[in-house]
Amino acid sequence: MSEGTVILKLGGSVITFKDGFMEANPASLSRLASEIHEAGREKLVLVHGGGSFGHPLAFKYKLHEGFRDYGQLEGFSRVHLAMRKLNRIVVESILAQGLKAVGIQPSSCVITRSGRIERFETTPLEKMLELGITPVLYGDVVPDLERGFSILSGDQIASYLGIRLNAEWIILGTDVDGLYTGDPKRDPEAKLLEKVTLDGLKRIIDEIGESSTLDVTKGMYGKIMELIPAIEKGVKVLIVNAKERDRVLKALRSEKVRGTLILRS
Amino acid sequence: MSEGTVILKLGGSVITFKDGFMEANPASLSRLASEIHEAGREKLVLVHGGGSFGHPLAFKYKLHEGFRDYGQLEGFSRVHLAMRKLNRIVVESILAQGLKAVGIQPSSCVITRSGRIERFETTPLEKMLELGITPVLYGDVVPDLERGFSILSGDQIASYLGIRLNAEWIILGTDVDGLYTGDPKRDPEAKLLEKVTLDGLKRIIDEIGESSTLDVTKGMYGKIMELIPAIEKGVKVLIVNAKERDRVLKALRSEKVRGTLILRS
């Protein structure tokens, strides 16, 4: 039986230095590329965030507000060019391992409506997977039918492709170990959740919603919210700390690894 | 009445040094970007060829033969990265004029069958045009349903978009003045054809087909063959020498200019 498809999302904080300006983290990228190579998955789609390549520029041009004036279109160009630059660095890291990878530009093949994916041409990407190429997508500014343009996050892309490609796994490589019962940086009682069902997750999200102190955790649950549609369709989600050596490798190999596993039931 | 859409194709020989290896021609690009700016067309789609960025690498990996072995996939990556680099340079030239431009990656949104476009997701591109952005496409390696991958020329993209976007004009910016009755480099009697109809063009192509000496001219007619479907749909085609100052400017303004005009009838 052929292996299932895996969508691996690498957070911007893992592959760039967040406090820099358009500064990639080559050591981290090289290690992760080597783990991806070692894992030897047949069908892998890589999606990455923007970190210090995307966020500062997107903020400068107020792209999250959608199209307000012509001047912002410069921002559309600039943010996209910055993300393309990061994408090239990621693709080159993968190629350096002898793997085959081709970047895929979301703003060429996706259109959103009020920030949600409305159309996504995935035929070229699927053909690449079939050939043995790892498509590498990224968070991008994309044309939007209502707002002119909007920021499409890597998380939304990962969730969408998880469903569309009927993926076995979505692996979220982040800079934390997984989901906690509280904010591990403030609360010494906070425990890592090793396994959560969709119902359990929804209960936790409700509780978080009522709290105003758990900012860090909230950010994390925000990412998870994006993945709920995929989890509902039966795609297994695993959150691991991609800054720690071999966590992504083990996740890709479906081996036991520290992290949070989220299942439909 | 709003202006019609124009597809401007710039040949690789115009924007790169053909004898170099991945060497752009910044002076030529900067002049052309300034002509594009001065022309002030509302709806412009730019398509460029590969020149010394595309051809040498594509040849090295034998990409024109389609998918034969896994090693060629490295070529898919490398040729695409090279073309993306040239595309960035073209986009930056346009941005430097204060215009808004976003590159569009054909291998993200096009799939071919035996080298011919089978699907082309143009919604994002059309939305960009509506916003006032100039989409900038390029010849690329794209996934192919029969051959694994194939080389998609800028000429085929220009012709396809001319039809799909119901364009008023396709302007071919090349390194010659237009179509001649013979090879102007060998035949002093060769005359520039200022205006040709589709029937006239087909007659000429038949004649050329029987001759084995007109290599240069043959190459040019090959490009025109690609555009016949668009001409049949009523898109006007104008071939001008983009290496000569103000030819592209005049063409974009629909002013009288040295070149070859091809009309359906």
Q: Do B88 and A80 touch (CB under 8 A)?
A: no
Q: Do B142 and A132 touch (CB under 8 A)?
A: no
Pair of tokens at residue B248: 């592209």
Q: Determine the Cα–Cα distance for residues A6 and A77; give it in Å rounded to an integer.
A: 30
Interface A-B, measured as beta-carbon pairs within 8 A, has a size of: 121
Q: Residue B25: is its pLDDT beyond 70?
A: yes
Q: Residue B215: is its pLDDT beyond 60?
A: no
* Section A113-121 average pLDDT: 98
User: Tens of pLDDT along B89-119?
Assistant: 999 999 999 999 999 999 999 999 999 999 9
Q: What share of chain A in percent tops pLDDT 70?
A: 95
Q: Determine the Cα–Cα distance for residues B109 and A89; give it in Å rounded to an integer.
A: 22
Specify whether the CB–CB gap between A125 and A135 falls below 8 A. yes
How does DSSP assign B150-169, residue by residue? EEEPHHHHHHHHHHHTT-SE
Q: Which residue of B has its CA nearest to A74?
A: B100
Q: What is the DSSP letter of B116?
A: E
Q: What share of chain B in percent tops pLDDT 90?
A: 81
Q: Do A111 and B127 touch (CB under 8 A)?
A: yes
Q: Nearest to residue B252, comparing CAs of B186, B199, B173? A: B173
* Bridge partners (DSSP) listed for residue B102: B135
Long-range contacts of A195-200 (CB under 8 A, 24+ apart): A195/A260, A195/A261, A195/A262, A195/A263, A196/A260, A196/A261, A196/A262, A196/A263, A197/A262, A197/A263, A197/A264, A197/A265, A198/A228, A198/A231, A198/A232, A198/A262, A198/A263, A198/A264, A198/A265, A199/A265
Mean pLDDT of chain B: 92
Q: Give residue A205's pLDDT band: very low, low, confident or very high (50, 70, 90).
A: confident
Residue B56 φ/ψ, nearest 5 degrees: -60, -40
Q: Nearest to residue A93, comparing CAs of A140, A154, A25? A: A25
Q: Which domains does chain A have, with CATH numbers?
A: 6-263 (3.40.1160.10)
Specify whether the CB–CB gap between B170 and B236 falls below 8 A. yes
Q: Nearest to residue B103, comparing CAs of A134, A48, A15, A87? A: A87
Q: Give residue A203's pLDDT band: very low, low, confident or very high (50, 70, 90).
A: confident
Q: Determine the Cα–Cα distance for residues A196 and A109; give it in Å rounded to an integer.
A: 34
Task: Please give, rounded to a whole number of angstroms, the shortest distance from the CA of A27 to a CA of chain B.
Answer: 22
| Chain B 88-107, residues with CB within 8 Å of chain A CB atoms | 88, 91-92, 95, 100-107
Q: What share of chain A in percent tops pLDDT 90?
A: 80
Task: Please give, rounded to a whole number of angstroms, the shortest distance from the CA of B54 to a CA of chain A.
Answer: 16
User: Tens of pLDDT along B143-185?
Assistant: 999 999 999 999 999 999 999 999 999 999 999 999 988 777 7
Q: Which residue in this structure is represented by tokens 């009309």?
A: B263
3-state secondary structure of A202: helix
User: Tens of pLDDT along B119-150?
Assistant: 999 999 999 999 999 999 999 999 999 999 99
Q: Does A109 touch chain B (CB under 8 A)?
A: yes
| Chain B 18-77, residues with CB within 8 Å of chain A CB atoms | 67, 70, 73-74, 76-77
Mean pLDDT of chain A: 92
Of residues B222 and B55, more confidently modeled: B55
Give pLDDT, residue B214.
46
How does DSSP assign A188-239, residue by residue? TT--B-SEEEHHHHHHHHHHHHH-SS-HHHHHHHHHHHHHHHHHHTT-EEEE
ipTM confidence: 0.94
